[in-house]
Chain A
Amino acid sequence: MARQTTVGDLSYRVVLGLLSTAALLILMVPVVVVIITSFTDSRSLRFPPPAFSLRWYSALFDPVQSAQIHMAAWNSLVIAVAATAISVVLGTAAALAISGRRTWWTQTLDAMFMSPLILPTLAFGLAALMFFSMLRLPLSIPLMILGHVAVIVPFILRTTIASLSQLDRGLLDTSSSLGAGAIYTFRRITLPAIRPGILAGAFIAFMASVDNVSVSLFLAGPENDVLPIRMWSMLESQLDVRTAAVSGVLIFTTAILVVVMDRIVGLTRRIS
């Protein structure tokens, strides 16, 4: 219905427009800045860069010079895949049990499983270190995987529960009344329906594991160095501009993955 544009309308549009532009800028500028800086020719983090070159990328991909970084990246990948796989299994099962029901114990479990999102994970990282130390377990990749599972499983739970809540219960009832076993129903009806939700959650969980600092900080050792810790150390100790190149590679890979996941499971739809 047509209405006269009032001063209120105009001010609304202006203010909102300004603020949202500011928000978009703030979101985008850092990413763009990193990409541009990764092509700098100088050894310092000046912006705008005085000259451009690919030297930091070639230094990054040099197997001798950057062996440590490559190992850290590989470790991060292995840990993320394993942690995500375990989280998908445990998380999907738990989501099936919890979703839709409002008994006291499902609510308690829900709160507990979601708590890593809210609690300071740094404290948990320290606690995990002390815990494994008391158990006399040397720091290793499997322990890091366990630590990561705890902090990434909430992501899978969230998207899977959301998916389940959109599942038509009628289908399940129909299936069971027609005589289908529980596993059959799950395999043929539930799973295909919630698969996009699981995959979206798995994707976010994967990225969260690759990016995790607070747990990795305490559990990382010489054998299980991970990328974020390596990058932080490089930044703090040497101001190694290779960090910019690593960042460039990460941004590029993430962007591609997001687009791919969006095509496959409608990722952007699912997490909104």
Chain B
Amino acid sequence: MSTPALTRRTLLAGGAVLATTTLLPRPALAAGRIVAPVYPGPWEEAYRAVVLPAVKKTQDVDTVLTPLLALDQVAKVKASRSTPPFDVFLLDPGPVVVAAEDGLIDRFDPSRCKNIANLQKAFVDEWGVAVAAQIVGIAYNPKKVERPKGWKDLFEPKYYGKVGISGFGTTFGTSSLIEISKQYGGSMTNVDPAFEQLRKWLPHVGVIAQNPVAVNTLFQQGQMDVTYTNYQTVSTLKGRGVDIEFVKPDTGPIAFYTTLHVVKNAPNKDNAYKYIDTILSTDVQAALQKPPYNLLSVNKNVPLQPDMPSDLVKSHAELASFIHHDWRVIAPLRAAWIERFNKEIRQ
């Protein structure tokens, strides 16, 4: 009888070899190493192009970037807190509160980052440091619809069927819905008016995105022509040739800061501080701010002009005058808002 080429034995041997190779310890790198999450999309492109080479050059640290949204980062670390899968967090204000309360963040030691001297005091606290500013407003397709002026315009009949709404799952979503609520008598902690307004408007809905980054996709596909989102998203899509423009709402645009933190029990804590320090440096901040990335800097030495359009924001001082929400107050309320949103928008 012929011996079959692919016997059970060879399969078994092959499988065993492969299984053991994955268990082998990684070869020690000459340089240091850090695993860092980054928001998928434009952030990832920016960090790959600018931050990775800079960290390697100035600190001799190899970075493994993993694309993950803020909440997903928290979820992953929560699932294995004693051996977290990455060394730093890149978070928006909402998830910061959640992660801090759950004890996932290591207390931040500003003395280990010399570039912090270039930041305003308000940008550093016990948990972490701001690395970029984000502006939230309204985005629209100039070829298909008129320029909206403010939050109330989203519900105008001329935009029926064209507006995209996203929920409280994101920072920009929550902030926008809070501002919408304020237009109708609500406040930072009371979003009932927003829900009222949504309910009235629901028959004319364009599209609703539960996944935060679906905004990009839906806009590109023409499934929606007006929505609220970060300025960053708009500039990235514009750079790709999509017809989209950003509008500062007439009642005032929203600003918040994206922050970096050190994860508790991080395996590469020293390298984490080096990583953060590099991102705060003047060179990197300046490079990240340039088009097409447009990540607003927090470093005093990097003026917002001329990279940013002058009608958007002229200086750091002006940025500070935008609307800021207190996330320590909002965070505990969000879970209930998310669940209520589910119920209200359901088909």
Contact = CB atoms under 8 A, between A and B. Distances in A.
Interface residues of B, number: 42
Interface in B1-33: 1, 4, 6-8, 11-12, 14-16, 18-19, 22-23
B80 A136 contact: yes
Given A82-B18, A129-B79, A222-B85, A236 B67 contact: no
Contact of A191 (B7, B12, B76, B214): B7
Contacts of A262: none
A119 interface: no
Contact of A139 (B14, B22, B80): B80
B242 interface: yes
Contacts of B37: 222
Interface string A228-239: 000001111111
Contacts of B15: 81-82, 84-86, 88-89
Contacts of B35: 222-223
> For the complex, would chain A's binding face be called helix, strand, loop or mixed by DSSP majority?
helix
Nearest to B6: A199
B22 A142 contact: yes
B231 to A, nearest CB: 17
Contact of A233 (B19, B65, B67, B79): B67
B85 A85 contact: no
Contacts, number: 114
Nearest to B215: A237
Interface string B82-125: 11111000000000000000000000000000000000000000
B19 A145 contact: yes
A211 B156 CA distance: 44
A43 B241 contact: yes
Contacts of A237: 40-41, 67, 213-214, 216-217
Interface in A59-89: 68, 78, 81-82, 84-86, 88-89
Contacts of A141: 22
B56 to A, nearest CB: 14
B158 interface: no
A81 B14 contact: yes
B4 to A, nearest CB: 6
A138 B83 contact: yes
A199 B79 CA distance: 37
Which 8 pairs from chain A and chain B are nearest by CB? A85-B15, A222-B66, A237-B213, A138-B83, A239-B217, A237-B40, A221-B85, A133-B79
Given A43-B241, A222-B86, 16 more contacts: A43-B240, A44-B242, A68-B67, A78-B22, A85-B12, A86-B15, A132-B80, A139-B76, A139-B80, A195-B6, A199-B6, A221-B66, A221-B76, A223-B85, A237-B67, A238-B40
